[in-house]
Structure 1
Amino acid sequence: MNTTAITPFDASEYLDDPEVIAEYLAACLEDENPDVFLSGLADVAKAKGMTDVARAAGLGRESLYKALAPGAHPRHETICRVVAALGLKMSVVTAQAAE
């Protein structure tokens, strides 16, 4: 019998361009499950280097992992600091503009 090893998909390996990162996180925000966005932020932080992102956001590395874990309920301030540390900013558009 011939078996093939399958490696798990790791989105962070493909998040190397600011436009790709912005589109990825925008898609994550479209999901009604808030864990999807937290997971997306974690993927981007991993791609950029968790230690560097944590430092830039003024957080400890463990705190960053906890804040972006599924089921976490990070404060708005924490999310804003992480987004800024990633070199991004969030904005709101009308529903018609998003279509």
Structure 2
Amino acid sequence: MSERFLDFDPADLLKSDEAVAVFLAEAFETGDAGHIANALGVAARAKGMTKIARETGLAREQLYKSLSENGNPTLATTLAVLKAIGFEITSKQTAA
């Protein structure tokens, strides 16, 4: 018997805005820039990368590259993508 592996994309699991919100919040809590960029890319794929590219004015290829684990999106790109998927960054004071 041979094992069969299927492709898995976590974007397929993000069916609601609530799921995306939890997914992004958990990513931001890590403080890991690569993980956050990748999570933002997953959320963008869940919403439709073509739609996000059109709304942000950025090329899909640029978005895929920037929003990968090895990507380093600018703050402008991050904010534009968040806005396009219906989210924003807020801040809170942390315990010192």
Question: TM range, normalised to the smaller chain?
Answer: 0.7 to 0.9
Aligned to 1:79: 78
| CA deviation profile, 1:9-63 (whole Å, cap 9, x unmatched) | 3210111111110110010111132111111111111111111111111111111
| 1:90 aligned onto 2:89 | yes
Long gaps (5+) in structure 1: none
1:17 aligns with 2:13: no
Counterpart amino acid of residue 43 in structure 1: V
Runs (4 or more) in structure 1 with deviation over 6 Å come to none
Which amino acid in 1 is paired with 2:13? Y
Looking at structure 1, the residues matched to 73 and 3 of structure 2 have their Cα atoms a distance apart, in angstroms, of 40
Distance 1:73 1:63 in 2: 11
Question: Which protein, 1 or 2, shows the higher relative CO under an 8 Å CA cutoff with sep ≥ 6?
Answer: 2
Residues 31-70 of structure 1: pairs in structure 2 closer than 5 A: 31-70=30-69
By how many angstroms is 1:4 displaced? 3.3
- Which blocks of at least 5 consecutive residues in structure 2 are unaligned? none
- 2:3 and 2:61 mapped to 1: Cα distance? 35
Q: Give the TM-score of the pair, scaled to structure 2.
A: 0.87
- State the number of aligned residues: 95
Identity among equivalent pairs (%):
32
